Chains A and B, each alone.
Chain A
Amino acid sequence: MPVFYGTEIASALMLGTAQYPSPAILAEAFRAARPGIATVSLRREAGGGQGFWDLVSGLGARILPNTAGCHSVKEAVTTAHMARELFGTAWIKLEVIGHADTLQPDVVALIEAAAILSADGFEVFPYCTEDLSVCGRLLDAGCQVLMPWGAPIGSGRGINNAYGLRSLRAHFPQVPLVVDAGIGLPSHAAQAMEMGFDAVLLNSAVACAGDPAAMARAMALAVEAGRAAFAADPMEARDMAAPSTPVIGKAFLE
């Protein structure tokens, strides 16, 4: 199971807590999927979110607060400090949005904020792109986990750049890597795990499904299947048909 900053997590599925029809359905989804980590936002809820945060804290998953909605280093750093106080954790999912429409990360600001927060004792989970040099800089900044996107947040488009993510996995074999954002279907989640990623983080795919609890369960099964498949060392794809039973000597060409 994934280990983040020295803590082993019981599941490779990480779930967001936004956009569910109700907290009761959110709790039902968590019971169905048993994710190891719950992400929670606080920038917009500041000044009155305690009721909801109490509900999230009771879901049985470890809390990973995020800086969703931040567009600058300063906003992200301030929000991270607020999160550390509110949730009593050094963990922070660092999001610095660079583009309002696509919600692409501003990787330059992200590296800067990651360095500031790491130096201040935070354990940073940066939401980033799959760019190798950006990821290298984030590690230099002190991050010990990377969370590259599968596709833009909320888009449900799956793994957009499988080559890039594979390459990232190969370049940083020892770093815990999480595919974050863009997962729309269980097959996307399974694909990420089959590629050797340590975990998958998703939200809209479950929260916006007609039956969130059923989709949460489907995602948990997919993550488990993908993880088991990677561990089983899958066969390589081949160009030629390769019969699995020998045919020589069989009387099939009479």
Chain B
Amino acid sequence: MGLIRILGAGVMGLSVATELVSRGHRVELVDPRPDPGPHGCSWWAGGMLAPFCEGESAEEPVERLGLGAIDWWDRHAGGVHRRGTLVLAQARDRSELDRFARRSRGHRSLHAGEIAALEPDLAGRFTSGLFYADEAHLSPRAALAALHQRLQAQGATFHTAPPDTTPDHIIDARGLAARDQLPDLRGVRGEMLVLRCPEVTLSRPVRLLHPRIPLYIVPRGDGVFMLGATMIESDRRGVVTARSVLELLSAAYALLPAFAEAELLETGADARPAFPDNLPHLRRRGATLFANGLYRHGFLLAPAVAAMVAEHLETGAAPEFMDEVLL
């Protein structure tokens, strides 16, 4: 198949590169800033591999195609924690928990004792919850670095500008930057915080449901926790707003008052690339194949989209997320 050039070295580009290299193809990546870092949307991700929880509000393919992500990341990056997801709501928001249970699969109900057995910190705080045993989480920054490193070790090359080569195929995986070619792509702003709170021992992602301010907390190890994430119809990037910090911290405090004494290590915001149906799409335009629109499902869906890209390049088939060919 010759040389494949991938534009963009975020979670989409690195996943496509990894999938192609694992199938024996030759790739080069082009990104003005090819190392994983805060310039990329996936740097700020939660890293929850939670196909069932996401299935509560996402379209059907998200759960089905997200299921394979856990093994994929384990195989290609390591660092996957298979400890499930805990979903909770405060007593007055009990109806949120019922709705979440009704609209998702892959869970079982927990009573107070079972919650405490899973996460001793939460003993006595919640009377009921949901447990999604088959979900997992990873640290996005470590995972991106692992892909980057392994790709380099396997001979993939990284460039800040297009090198003087003649690629046979071009994969455009630039995320929101590809809006110059994909006019229906929009940004959905997400804000996150990182706290250090060594006295808290939560070992798996915890989601706190709330009618207005839903929260998730993902443990990063060593007493560090990521709190996320807002969903705002805006492509503004960069700094977080006071209101968002206030809401995320209030929700964390409601979950566990011990967070009040945490150190606030980091705040961050970026815009997720999304198409109108909030699902990824592949589009072919001449020699270029666009792979974009991971929305809030970067780590969950990148492996499936990468496999579709490889399949299309190898067989010419039109995979599930492929739109009509644009000439």
Given A48-B187, A48-B189, A154-B212, does the pair A27, B234 have CB atoms closer than 8 Å?
no
Say which residue of B187, B232, B276 sits within 8 Å of A22 (CB atoms): B276
How near does chain A come to B279, taking the closest CB pair, in angstroms?
8
Q: Let me know if B285 is at the binding interface, CB within 8 A.
A: no
Determine whether the beta carbon of B276 is less than 8 Å from that of A47.
no
Q: Which residue of A lies closest to B234 (CB)?
A: A48
Tell me, yes or no, whether A49 is within 8 Å of chain B by CB. yes
Note all chain A residues with C-beta closer than 8 A to B243: 44
Q: Is the interface of B mostly helix, strand, loop or mixed?
A: loop
Q: Are A52 and B186 in contact (CB under 8 A)?
A: yes
CB B225 to nearest CB in A, in angstroms, measures 25
Taking CB atoms, residues of chain A closer than 8 Å to B186 are 23, 51-52, 55
Contact assessment for B58 and A45 in the assembled complex, using a CB-CB cutoff below 8 Å = no
Closest A residue to B58 by beta carbon equals: A21
Map CB proximity to B onto A45-64 as digits: 1 under 8 Å, 0 otherwise.
11111111001000000000
Bound Cα distance A46, B185 (Å)? 18
B276–A24 CB distance below 8 A: yes
Q: Are the C-beta atoms of B58 and A47 separated by less than 8 Å?
A: no
B236 pairs with A52, CB closer than 8 A: no
| A210 touches B (CB below 8 Å) | yes
User: What separation, in Å, do the CA atoms of A45 and B232 have in the docked complex?
Assistant: 6
Distance, CA A46 to CA B233, complexed state (A): 9
Verify if B324 is at the interface (C-beta below 8 Å from A): no
Q: Does B222 contact A (CB under 8 A)?
A: no
Chain B minimum-CB-distance residue to A56: B233
Contact for B233 among A24, A45, A154, CB less than 8 A = A45
A203 to B241, CA, bound (A): 25
Closest to A210 in B: B103
- B235 adjacent to chain A (CB < 8 Å): yes
- In the complex, the answer to whether A154 meets B278 with C-beta atoms within 8 Å is no
Across the interface, A48 reaches (CB within 8 A) one of B57, B236, B274, namely: B236
For B271, list chain A residues within 8 Å (CB). Answer: 48
Bound together, the chains give a CA A210 to CA B212 distance in angstroms of: 17
- CB <8 Å contact, A44 and B232: yes
A46 close to B278 (CB less than 8 A): no
| Option from A22, A24, A25, A46 in Cβ contact (under 8 Å) with B234 | A46
Q: Name the distance in Å between B212's Cβ and chain A's nearest Cβ.
A: 7
Q: Which residues of B contact A23 (CB under 8 A)?
A: 186, 276-278
Q: Do the beta carbons of B278 and A47 come within 8 Å of each other?
A: no
User: What is the CA–CA distance of A22 and B62 in the complex, to the nearest angstrom?
Assistant: 13
Closest to A43 in B: B243
Shortest distance in angstroms between B101's beta carbon and chain A's nearest beta carbon?
Answer: 13
Minimum CB–CB distance for A86 against chain B, Å? 13
CB distance from A214 to the nearest CB of B (A): 14
Q: Give A21 to B271 CA distance when docked, in angstroms.
A: 17
In the complex, A105 Cα to B185 Cα: how many Å?
Answer: 36
Q: Mask for B54-66, Cβ within 8 A of A = 1, else 0?
A: 0001110000000
Nearest residue (CB) in B for A23 is B276
Contacts of B59 in A (CB 8 A): 21-22
- Contact bitstring B215-245, A, C-beta under 8 A = 1, else 0: 0000000000000000011111100010100
| A44, B278: Cβ atoms closer than 8 Å | no
A48 to B58, CA, bound (A): 23
Given A51-B187, A154-B212, do A24 and B235 touch, yes or no (CB 8 Å)?
no
CB contacts (< 8 Å) of A46 on chain B: these are 234, 236
| Alpha-carbon distance between A44 and B244 when the two chains are bound, in angstroms | 10
Which one, B58, B233, B237, B276, contacts A27 given CB within 8 A? B276
One digit per residue, 1 when the CB lies within 8 angstroms of any chain B CB and 0 when it does not, for chain A 86-101 equals 0000000000000000
B235 touches A51 (CB 8 A): yes
Chain B residues near A51 (CB, 8 Å)? Answer: 185-187, 233, 235
- CB pair A52–B234 under 8 Å, yes or no, is yes
Is there an interface contact between A49 and B276, defined as CB atoms closer than 8 Å? no
CA A44 to CA B234, docked complex, whole Å: 8
Residues of A within 8 A of B58 (CB): 21
The answer to whether A22 and B278 touch across the interface, beta carbons within 8 angstroms, is yes
User: Using Cβ atoms and an 8 Å threshold, which residues of chain B touch A50?
Assistant: 235
Shortest distance in angstroms between A120's beta carbon and chain B's nearest beta carbon?
Answer: 26
Chain A residues lying within 8 Å of B277, measured Cβ to Cβ, are 22-25
**Shortest distance from the beta carbon of A57 to any chain B beta carbon, whole Å:** 13
Q: What is A's interface to B at a CB cutoff of 8 Å?
A: 21-25, 27, 44-52, 55, 154, 210
- Inter-chain pairs besides A21-B59, A47-B236, 20 sampled, C-beta below 8 Å: A21-B58, A22-B274, A22-B278, A23-B276, A23-B277, A23-B278, A24-B276, A27-B276, A44-B234, A44-B241, A44-B243, A46-B234, A46-B236, A47-B234, A48-B187, A49-B234, A51-B185, A52-B234, A210-B102, A210-B103
Interface residue ranges, B against A (CB under 8 Å): 57-59, 102-103, 185-187, 189, 211-212, 232-237, 241, 243, 271, 274, 276-279
19 contacts between A and B (CB under 8 A): A21-B57, A21-B278, A23-B276, A24-B276, A25-B277, A44-B232, A44-B241, A44-B243, A45-B232, A46-B234, A46-B236, A47-B236, A48-B235, A48-B237, A51-B233, A52-B233, A55-B186, A154-B212, A210-B103
